[in-house]
Structures are given as structure tokens and as C-alpha cells.
Amino acid sequence: MEDLVESILDYIRSDYTDYAIMINGEWGSGKTYFWNNKIKPKIESMQLNGKRYTAIYMSLYGISNLEEISKKIFIETTQLMDKNLKKFMDASGVKNIPEYAKTGLDMANFFGVTQNGDRIDYGQFFSTDDKVLCFDDLERANVDVIDILGYINNFVEHDHIKTIIICNEKELSTKLKNSNLEMKTFIATYLLDKENKLNIKTDKPMVERIRDTIEYVFDKANDYERIKEKLIGETFEYVPEFNYIINGILMRYENYPDLIRFLRENTNLIISTFNKSGTRNLRILKHSLTNFKKIFDMVNKSYPNTNHRVLQTMLIFTIAISFEIKAGKITKDKFVNINNNEEYKAILVSSRVFMDNRQFYIKEFDNNYYYNFKAEYRFFKFIELYVRTRIFDMKVFKQDMENIINTVDTDKLPGYKRLLTEEYWKISDDQFSGVVSEVLEDVKNGRIELINVVKLFAYFAHFVRKGLIDYDMKTIKSVFLNGMNVSSLTSSYCPNVEEELASLAIEEDKSDDMEEILQYFDTINEKLREKMYREKADEVFKYIPMRMEQFYDIFDKECMEIPIFRYYDVFQMFQRISCASNEDIVTIKEKLLDRAKRYGDKLTEELPNLKKLKQVMDDYIDGKSPTIKLVILQDFADELSNVIKAYKGEEEPQSMQAQMEEN
């Protein structure tokens, strides 16, 4: 790094130059930090031919016309000539004027607030041999890059001002190629058509032909290279010394003694995780450490005795997840469906034990960031949620921390959780038989959730095939089938079976035994589903007619996509609906038709009961003298015909009024 600094200073020291130099580096790699802390101070401390150099820095970020650059230079120059400002900065030890302060100074000068009676020294304006211009963020300007370089060339070629350009040439190249791409594609297609080259048969794909034509007609890259060759004498590749820069980043936490002590103790972990990210983006690293400060503070405040190893893992995970999401390496939803460390480890165990590659990304993430770092707890939902959404969810935080307290010591974990969340070969030989016996006992007594019983059978089938346990497959299968019966008495319906089993390579086991377990599980799970829906139906319909607000709330939130009418007695249903107010009967009718139109394909199981309900209503109304209530109920019964047709996907019949209007 010192060689790079000296090379830049050699350019400044040169008596005569008619070229600029460029510092090229990736976004977020610390180029601006390098300028402010390494280059600028040394330039302004130089004295050549009795003169001190003045460095004038300008970011081109968002600049939309060349006039804005001129204004920036003028503002920077006039501020540097203000004697009172210089005195204040010297007395205060301020080296750089904040952008906010510049805005205030500019407006103050404009309105004459800070005039001190001094006349402008025009010699300062005409003096160019003691100025160094630095233009940053070239690729982020909203002006044509060719125009900006032509503008800068005036200072370099005609005034011989030392000029440094900081940019990311990789992004600059992409910008040159992609500017006005739609217009370029249209013109390229038009030209190919005019030359009768659009529909001719060729080995070259159409996309490639259009791209070649765009490059031929709109070759901005060549224009850039030509003017760069004329303007830029040397290009220096900026490859930062991360140890030095990271040390500078950590200094911002000097006022937080516990945090800075922890970060400095784990600097190697920070650097290692940063390197494993495969980027050079220090900006993301800064953001991730800011996130970690919040995490560190909350953990120490609420759980002061947290294991040191867990805090280290939290640091790694915060940096890793920040880079994976913010560097655009993955979509944000990659971790959304992983709710806790147990699920995360279950995916890893499945991928390693059963060679399952369906969760390839998670496995690669773990292998990369936790390589040579052993930790039982490696996924923190509250951190993933905080980085992804910027919301620090206290409920999720507490759940994670309580789980950490209960699971950091794996010897205290129930045996079945050890099998599901850690590779079985990590269990010592003297513990393994005990774990197996404990799991079988829990299965027999129905102490394990039904879906986990299925997962565990896959492991035990694997153990039998490998000869790791002294049981035959028939015995094991019998234990698990009986255990599923007992578990069904306390287990809940599992709605996301495929997702649950996706973390386990069950389809890799094509055996009849595994198939029998899965079929038996499906049968029990279906019964649990019906039990759950019956309970839901009892809950929701009991609110008719006395507590209609609760009925509407639960119906709208929980019953729109489930066939709830299948699970309630039709005569009781009619009795409750008929006792409701006329207004509520109309509202229920409208909700049923809207629901049928939107979710009819999911509700066909309701059809038999809805047909019975219509018949019950028709029978009740038949032969009675009309009243408002009976008319409303008749409308309800008629609307049920439309609901039934909507379920079947048939065209909805016209209302009586529409038929009369048509005739």
C-alpha cells in the first residue's frame, strides 16, 4: 500500500504533467477512505518550490450536468480562500468541511451573511500549480462519461493541474454498454431488417446478432478507451490492506468498551469472514458491524451470561448473512422458511447423511463461513430477520436466546433432537446405544410429534442397513407404526408435509418399508386434518347469531380457503343462520359467493353439505306465507345455487332481474 501512495505522490511532485491518473477499485473497497486518510493528508503536507498543495475533492455521484461540476469546484475553492473559515478550522482541528456545513456556508455567502470585508484574491483563482483535483465516483454520475472526461481534460491538458480520478472501471464498462439499451436494440433491429439480415438463417443466435450490431453502431467503450488513452497517464489498481482499514472501522466503537474489546479480540474472525464473502465491499462490512452492535447490546443487556462461543458465532453469522443478502449473492427469501437453528441443522444433516443436494445453497453457506469453526448453534433467526427486514423482533429474539440456553450443551438435548439436528457420527460410541434406546422409548410412548416420527424412521432404517443397531427392519417398523398411533392422540395436523420432509432425503429411500410408513402417516395426518377442521367449524359457527363480529373475523382470516361447511351439521347450521338478523343473512350470503368465486377449486368437499343446506332451506320455506325473513332466506337459497355452480366451474346463471331485462 505504501508503494501505491508513493507512486501517487511522485505524480504530484512531477514538475510538468499533461495527464491525469486513475485509481481503480471495486465499490465499497475503501477507495474514498484511502484518499481521505492516506493520500490527501500527505498531499497537503507537501511543500514544493515554496508552495503548499491544496487538495480539492469532488464526488460526481448524481451529477446531472457539467455545470454542477463547475459549481462544486467554485464552492470548494472559495471556501478554501475564506480566512475566517481557515482560522476556525485550524483552531477546531477540523480537517474537512462536512457537506451539511458546505451547504450552509454557500447560502450564507450568497446572502452576504459572512462577508468579512476582504477583497477576493484573484491570484488564488489563477494559481493552478498548487492545486490537486480529485474526482470520485465517475461511474455514478448521471452525465455521459465521455463528456465528463472531456471536461476534466481541460484542466489537465491546458492548465496542467494535477488530477486524480477515482472510479470502478468494471461498473463503468457495464454502464457504457447498458445505457439506452432499449433504444439501441430498436435501432439495431431496424438496421438488420433494412439489410435483410433479420430473418436469414445463420448459426449465430438473434440475440448475439443484435448485440454485435449495437457494439458496432454504438461503441461507447471504444470512445472511452480513446479519451482515456489521451487523458489518463497511469491507472493504479487499488487493492486495500484490509487489516489496516478494518482497524480504522473498529475505531468508531472506541466509546463502547465491552464491544470494542470483543471486536478486537475477534479481529481475525472478522477478517476471515470478510474474505470468505468473496467481495471487497467494506461498506457492507461497516453495515454488518453496525448491526452487530445492536445485537451485542441486546444480548448483553437481556442475557449477560451468554456463552462466548455463541457471541463469536453471532458475529460470523451477522457478517455472513449481510454479505449474502446485500451483495446480491442470493435472493432475500433463501432463509425465510428456516425458522430456527434446529431446522437449519436438520437440512445440513440430511444433506450430509443422505447425500441430499436439494438444499445445496445452505450446505455451501455453512461449509464456507463455518469452515474450521465448530459451533453447535449456527443459525439465528432474529439476526437473519433483522438484517433482511431491519426489524428487531423481540419475540423471535427471546425464542432464539431461550433455545440457545437449552441447546448449547448437546448432552442435555433429547436423543431424538440430537439425531435430527446433528450428524449421528458426532455422537460418541459409548453414548450412541443410549441415544437409540431413548429415542425408541419416546417413539413407543408417543412423546414425539408425528412428522418427526417419520423423519426418525428414515434414520433408523439407515442404521439397520449399516448394521449400527441390533434390530431388524420388521421390528423397527412395528415400533414406529405403533408409536405413530400413540403420537396421533397428541400431535397436530401437519399442513406442510412436503416442506417438512424436503429437509430429509426420504425419496432416496425407495423401500417398501419407507413407503408403508409414509402412507400410514398420510392416513393419520388426514384424520388429524379432519379433527382440526371439525374443531374449527364448531368454533366459528357457535358465534352465529349472537356474536357475529367474531364470526366474520375468524371466517375471513381462517376459513376462506378451507372447506369448513363440510364439518358442521347442516340442520344446526340452518338453525343458526335462520336466527341471525336479516342484514347478517345477506352478508353471509355475499361472503359465500365471493369465497366460492375466489377459492372454489379448494372447497369442493363442501358441495354435499351446501346442497343439503339449500334443500333444508327450500323445504322450510315451501308453503309458508311470505315474510321479509322468508324472502331473505329464499334469496340465500337461490344464491347457494350460484355458489354450487362456482365450485363446479360452471357459468354463473343470470339473476331473475337480468333475465327480465334481457327479454
For residues 614 and 523, state if they share a domain: no
197 within some domain: no
Nearest to 24 by CA among 173, 148, 153: 173
Residue 596 lies in a domain: yes
| Mean predicted confidence (pLDDT) in 403-421 | 73
483 lies in a domain? yes
Choose among 166, 131, 154: nearest CA to 32: 166
Distance CA 592, CA 597 (A): 9
CA 423 to chain CA mean position, Å = 28
Interval 267-277 mean pLDDT: 88
Q: Which residues contact 72 (CB under 8 A, 6 or more apart)?
A: 58
- pLDDT of res. 653: 43
Tens digit of each residue's pLDDT (9 = 90 or more) over 77-132 = 665 555 565 566 566 665 555 544 444 445 455 545 444 445 444 444 445 677 88
Cell 433483522 found at: 386
Say yes or no to pLDDT of 650 above 60: no
In terms of domains, do 458 and 523 share one? yes
Joined grid coordinates for residue 356: 441430499
Q: What is the pLDDT of residue 164?
A: 92
d(CA 411, CA 405): 13
Q: Give domain status of residue 170, yes or no.
A: yes
Are 444 and 343 members of one domain?
no
Cell 503536507 -> residue: 45
283 vs 483, residue with greater confidence: 483
For residue 624, the 8-state DSSP code is P
pLDDT given for residue 73 in this prediction = 75
Task: Tell me which of 635 and 158 has the higher pLDDT.
Answer: 635
pLDDT recorded at residue 647: 83
Task: Return the SS3 of 285.
Answer: helix
CA–CA gap between residue 241 and residue 245 (Å, rounded): 6
Q: Backbone dihedral region of 446: left (phi > 0), alpha (psi from -120 to 50 degrees) or beta?
A: left
Q: What pLDDT score does 453 carry?
A: 94
Rounded average pLDDT over 341-357: 72
Instruction: Report whether 518 contacts 465 (CB < 8 A).
Output: no
The closest alpha carbon to 496, from 531, 527, 453, 451, belongs to 451
Give the total number of structural domains in the chain: 4
Residue 594 confidence (pLDDT):
92
Range of the domain at 430: 425-530
Q: Are residues 351 and 253 in the same domain?
A: yes
Residue 663, pLDDT score? 39
Same domain, 342 and 309: yes
User: Which is higher by pLDDT, 120 or 295?
Assistant: 295
Average pLDDT, the chain: 81
For residues 169 and 94, membership in a common domain is answered with yes
H helix intervals, 195-281: 206-217, 220-231, 242-250, 257-265, 267-276
Considering the domain architecture, whether residues 515 and 578 belong to the same structural domain is answered as: no
Distances (CA, A) of 328 to 140, 288, 315, 339, 363: 19, 15, 20, 22, 18
Q: Is residue 215 domain-resident?
A: no
In contact, 337 and 499? CB cutoff 8 Å: yes
Claim to verify: residue 590 and residue 519 sit in the same structural domain: no
CATH code, domain with 98: 3.40.50
Pick the residue with more confidence: 334 or 476?
Answer: 476
Give the Cα separation of 540 and 555 in Å (integer): 7
Query: What's the pTM?
Result: 0.47
Whether 432 maps to a domain, the answer reads yes
In the chain, how many H helices and how many E strands?
33, 7
404 with 429, same domain? no
Instruction: Please indicate, yes or no, if residue 415 is contained in any of the structural domains.
Output: no
Query: 190 versus 152: which is more confidently predicted?
Result: 152
Q: Over 90: is that where the pLDDT of 241 sits?
A: no
Could you tell me which residue, 406 or 362, shows the higher pLDDT? Answer: 362
Q: Which of 417, 420, 404 is nearest to 312 (CA)?
A: 404
Percent of the chain with pLDDT over 70: 77
* Listed residues 160, 176, 192: the one ending a domain: 176
Q: Last residue of some domain: 408, 440, 472?
A: 408
pLDDT per residue as tens digits for the range 619-632? 999 999 989 999 99
Q: Considering only 88-97, 267-276, 538-547, which range has the smallest mean pLDDT?
A: 88-97
Question: What confidence tens digit (pLDDT) does each residue in 309-347 have?
Answer: 899 999 999 999 999 888 766 555 678 888 988 888 888
Same domain, 256 and 151: no
Eight-state DSSP code of residue 50: T
User: Do 482 and 515 sit in the same domain of this protein?
Assistant: yes
Residue-wise pLDDT for 581-603, tens only, equals 999 999 999 999 999 998 988 89
Question: Region 336-360: what's the mean pLDDT?
Answer: 74
Using the 3D structure, point to which of 482, 515, 530 is the last residue of a domain.
530
Q: Reading across the β-sheet that carries 131-136, which strands appear in turn?
A: 54-59, 131-136, 162-167, 20-24, 232-237
Tens-digit pLDDT profile for residues 502-533: 656 544 556 789 899 999 999 999 999 999 99
In a domain, 554, yes or no: no
- Same domain membership, residue 579 and residue 463: no
